[in-house]
Amino acid sequence: MKKKFEYLLPILIMLMAACQPTSQAAVASEETGQLAQSPTFTVPPTHVTEVPQSTPTPEQVINPLTGLPAADPALLERRPIMVKVSNYPQYGRPHAGLSFADMVFEYYIGNGTNRFLALYYGQDCSQIGPVRSGRFVDAQLVPMYGGVLVYGSADEDTDAEIISTLGNYAISNFDAPEPAFIGTDTHSVTGVYANSAAISQFVSAQGWENSAPDLPGMVFSYDIPDRGKYADQLNVLFNYNDRGEWHYDAGSGKYLRWIEYFEDENDTTYDMIPLVDKVTGSQLAFSNVIVLFAKYTELAPSRHLIDIIGNNKGKPAYYFRDGQVFEGTWRAKVDDDPIQFFNDQGEPMPLKPGNTWIVITGLNSSYEEIQPKVWELFFNLP
């Protein structure tokens, strides 16, 4: 038995060694026949790979006058720039920079002609014009949007009203140097153009307050409201020879602007041509076209009062969007809030996100559907 045990002992030792970790196994001492002490293991520290934290997406800043995310939110931290743009005589066309405006107001200025007031907030343009004279209504519209009026000049009484109301924020081409204005000949149809970014910089450089105004009230939605009527076209006539047309383009979802063109100043007939932006070369395209009815008071053939502020109960309005027209009302309760738009149920009227063109017409103006899907507005005083 003793010999048999001695025969098995080496085998047992080998089996015990095999149970130890391969690289650090205990081995038997040849001299003593005893198991050597197994070395102590040091467990290396666990390496944890840091997962980079995702940067939170900043909340989009929405332009309150278009309902669209601002491409440059910093632009919304200033007063809107509102520029007077001439529409007559014809040789001053094409206009420059109107396609960059968030909103454009169009109204009658006398002698069968109209003029534009273009508002720049979410975008700037380095060439806007031709810049022409101010009107009494500018002293109402500009404070409603907390804006800066940019104009060429005005007759003495009108200029006094504008400056009394707007103070430093009424800037003519005689008040600011290049590049705010390019050109000095106010009475030349193509003599002066404005740069909206440079106007903003000029205001700040003078130390005048130039922070974002409160612009509540406008509502936007891509959903098309109920109770609309088809409207592929809107014709706007301030007289028989002052004609603008808006044609709905289903591809872009916008209304495209057309305007009358006389081949010769002695012509009695005209063609309708696309109204393009001199800066871009593209036809003017607007998401919304709004017709507002307001009372005009004629002081002289080229001087009018237009009742905007104080319209608490509401006056008629028509809203064109997405190839349809909607009936409603508009209000202007206070002199420092934008115009408010309502549908025929008295609820806020949702406009399509994008730019808006507003026609201010007289209360006695005719408005009718002259053929299927074609509506026509003909201006009349008051």
Q: What is the pLDDT of residues 135-144, one digit of tens each?
A: 999 999 999 9
Per-residue confidence (pLDDT) for residue 213, from 0 to 100: 97
Task: Tell me if domain 73-205 and domain 219-378 are identical in fold.
Answer: yes
Per-residue confidence (pLDDT) for residue 354, from 0 to 100: 98
- Is domain 73-205 given the CATH code 1.10.540.10 in the classification? no
In DSSP terms, 172 is beta-bridged to 151
**Cβ atoms 278, 92 nearer than 8 A:** no
Question: What is the rounded distance in angstroms from the CA atom of residue 132 to the CA atom of residue 191?
Answer: 9
What residue type is assigned to position 49 of the chain?
T
Question: What mean pLDDT value characterizes the chain?
Answer: 88
- Would you kindly state where each structural domain of the chain is located, as residue ranges? 73-205, 219-378
Please tell me whether residue 366 adopts helix, strand or coil conformation.
Answer: strand
Model confidence pLDDT, tens digit, residues 45-66: 434 344 445 455 568 999 999 9
**Cβ atoms 130, 196 nearer than 8 A:** no
Cβ–Cβ contacts within 10 Å for residue 376, how many? 17
- Work out the average pLDDT over 250-268: 94
Residue 68 has pLDDT above 90, yes or no: yes
- Is domain 219-378 given the CATH code 2.60.120.620 in the classification? no
Residues of the chain with pLDDT > 90: what percent?
79
- Work out the average pLDDT over 222-240: 97
- Work out the average pLDDT over 66-80: 97
Residue 6 has pLDDT above 70, yes or no: no
**Cβ atoms 363, 315 nearer than 8 A:** yes
As a residue count, the chain comes to 382
Question: What is the rounded distance in angstroms from the CA atom of residue 137 to the CA atom of residue 130?
Answer: 19
Q: CA dihedral in degrees (23, 25, 28, 34; nearest 10)?
A: 150
